[in-house]
Chains A and B, each alone.
Chain A
Amino acid sequence: MGALVGVYAIWLREIKRALRDRGQLIGGVSRPLLWVLILGIGLNPYFRAEIYGEVRFVVPYTYLQFIFPAVIVLNIMYTAVQSAVSVIADREFGFLREVLVSPMPRSLVLIGKVLGGATVAMVHGCIVLILAEFTDVNLRLGDLFLGLGLMFLLAFGLTCLGIVIANRIRSFEGFGVFSNAVILPLYFTSSSVFPLDPALSGAQTRVLYPEWLVTLVEWNPITYAVDSLRGVFIGFNQFDESYGPIVMVIMVVAFFAIALWDFRRT
């Protein structure tokens, strides 16, 4: 029991720091608004094709619906990876030592830290959910819980990834550049803004898109996170439904293990 109080203390500190960081909150609100309002509405009319004079959507959804789950993933990605900045800050401003000489095992310290970051990322993911009504996505209660579970898995895994990156990069500036260099490519190649049409066979997809792009999308783990959230929120899957959760669980385990290994050595 006593150990849980310590984890709670570390979690609570992360939450308090996030709440006092105006910049992060503003980003968490403005990012989804930009993506949904500007990009979503702007591209909405182009997301359909005319076949024999009949107007159809490429996939049977509007672009707003299509992009909605991806924006949730984007908001979680940014916040989760950015939350690892606190790892660099703790090292820089000495607070890390306060934790290192405390009688708390390193593993619990890390769990508290990751849970804190993941919670903040979840909250930012939920900010996007408020826009559901606006994007014509109907949230049913059961789907919502399933979706929240997947979002948490993603947030946890990405926070671990952020910490792994933060452990390798010592300065704030470096982290900003590097995290953007990780987040944006991962996001754009996750089939977030355009679908690899499920109606096309693998061979046909490769004719439509250059092969390197298809390969990138297929190898990007975020692709499967976006896909599984789409499956839950709008009922559209490009890949097998089980891929998403499997990939995310692997991400959580792998990144947490690396983060823990790093942390034990400090």
Chain B
Amino acid sequence: MTVNAVEIAGLSKRYGRTLALDDINLTIGADETFALLGPNGAGKTTLIHILCTILRPDSGTAKISGHDVVRQSLRARKNLGVIFQEPSLDARLTVRENLEFHGMVYRVPRAVRRQRITELLELVDLSDWADKLVRTLSAGMKRRVELARALIHDAKVVILDEPTVGLDAQSRSNIWTYLRQLKAARGFTLIVTTHYIEEVDEADRVCIIDHGRILALDAPSTLRAEHGREIVRVVPRDAAATAAIRARFPTAEERDGDIAIIGADSTVTETLLRDFGPQIRNLSYDRPSLESVFLALTGREIRDQPATRGMRG
């Protein structure tokens, strides 16, 4: 019998008058890659902190590999490898000393500890940096040390809270390459929260939460198919063409001279090419992205970006 990696039942947490988590029910299977997606303040970090046993829920239960995070927190922690949003290495110790510390605190026998440190440093390409002080490492390298550290003990569930935030695009994709390699080598359940929606495609299942509730939970492709909207954009040659196309597709919207046909299926493109071919200057097709799924479900962009307009002089 395999134990589920994570079992959450009726989980609620309130901060003052804000309900951060509202009756969450969720099961995550062994070896699954699970992504948690939500805007700022959606309750992601609250949920992660409860799973990490550093925050107590108001009601409901959460179990890591069958161990209750409140009543059996020490056992639950043994099965957990956590990588927090903020780096949590000791910058004054070397890479190896940080990993040794972790191994000792998690009671990994000396021989196993030494062997795993060597192997894991190899896997994240940091063997040459083992005896350098952590403070001399780049942000991306520090993240890799933390990936290795989470697996020094027998972590069955690895939780990453925004693992790639603050890294450049190249380091971000590197981190995911390393994660895939580690997962192939060791096998564990991966729970990840991220702001970078393109990273979520790596996951087996995506859970979109907002205002403490689960809005959608499914494979990325299914979510796209169900909630995503395909958009065909047309740039007509002249005003006459614009009018003709708009007459054919009354629901289309006009945006800066383009025509955007939202919720288009494959027949739309065919019709356009067949009937309006010579009148079209440009035609483009937007695949439904998780970004649009997210927007459709929450009514918000994934990143609440501050307005930059007017900042430039």
Interface residues of A (CB under 8 A from B): 2-3, 5-6, 8-10, 12-13, 16-17, 20, 93-105
Q: In this assembly, does B89 line the interface, its C-beta being within 8 Å of a C-beta of chain A?
A: yes
Q: In this assembly, does B211 line the interface, its C-beta being within 8 Å of a C-beta of chain A?
A: no
The 7 closest A-B pairs by CB, nearest first: A9-B104, A94-B88, A2-B107, A103-B77, A98-B88, A94-B86, A103-B78
Complex: chain A residue closest to B85, CB-CB: A94
Q: B104 near A5 (CB under 8 angstroms)? A: yes
Identify A103's interface contact among B75, B86, B88, CB under 8 A.
B75
Known: A13-B93, A16-B93, A101-B52. A6 touches B104 (CB 8 A): yes
Identify A101's interface contact among B80, B91, B92, B93, CB under 8 A.
B80
Given contacts A9-B100, A98-B88, A105-B74, 5 further A-B contacts (CB under 8 A): A16-B93, A93-B90, A101-B52, A101-B53, A102-B105
How far does the alpha carbon of A96 sit from the alpha carbon of B87 in the complex, in Å? 11
Q: In this assembly, does B106 line the interface, its C-beta being within 8 Å of a C-beta of chain A?
A: yes
Known: A103-B77, A103-B78. A93 touches B52 (CB 8 A): no
Q: In this assembly, does B183 line the interface, its C-beta being within 8 Å of a C-beta of chain A?
A: no
Give B160 Cβ to nearest chain A Cβ, in Å.
13
Known: A13-B101, A16-B93, A16-B97. A97 touches B106 (CB 8 A): no
How far does the alpha carbon of A101 sit from the alpha carbon of B80 in the complex, in Å? 8
Q: In this assembly, does B102 line the interface, its C-beta being within 8 Å of a C-beta of chain A?
A: yes
Q: In this assembly, does B82 line the interface, its C-beta being within 8 Å of a C-beta of chain A?
A: yes
List, in ascending order, chain A residues with CB within 8 A of B84's CB.
94, 97
Give B86 Cβ to nearest chain A Cβ, in Å.
4
List, in ascending order, chain B residues with CB within 8 A of A2's CB.
107
Give A200 Cβ to nearest chain B Cβ, in Å.
51
22 contacts between A and B (CB under 8 A): A3-B107, A5-B104, A9-B100, A9-B105, A10-B105, A13-B90, A13-B97, A16-B92, A17-B93, A20-B92, A95-B88, A95-B89, A96-B88, A97-B86, A100-B54, A101-B54, A103-B74, A103-B75, A103-B77, A103-B78, A103-B106, A103-B107
Q: B54 near A97 (CB under 8 angstroms)? A: yes
The listed residue with most A CB atoms (<10 A of its CB), out of B91, B102, B106, is B106
Give A264 Cβ to nearest chain B Cβ, in Å.
12
List, in ascending order, chain B residues with CB within 8 A of A99's CB.
105
How far does the alpha carbon of A93 sit from the alpha carbon of B134 in the complex, in Å? 12
Residues from 26 to 81 in B contacting A, C-beta threshold 8 Å? 52-54, 74-75, 77-78, 80
List, in ascending order, chain B residues with CB within 8 A of A20's CB.
92
Complex: chain B residue closest to A97, CB-CB: B88
List, in ascending order, chain B residues with CB within 8 A of A16's CB.
92-93, 97
Complex: chain B residue closest to A109, CB-CB: B105
Give A152 Cβ to nearest chain B Cβ, in Å.
24
Q: A8 near B104 (CB under 8 angstroms)? A: yes
The listed residue with most B CB atoms (<10 A of its CB), out of A3, A9, A101, is A101
Q: B88 near A5 (CB under 8 angstroms)? A: no
The listed residue with most B CB atoms (<10 A of its CB), out of A8, A96, A102, is A102
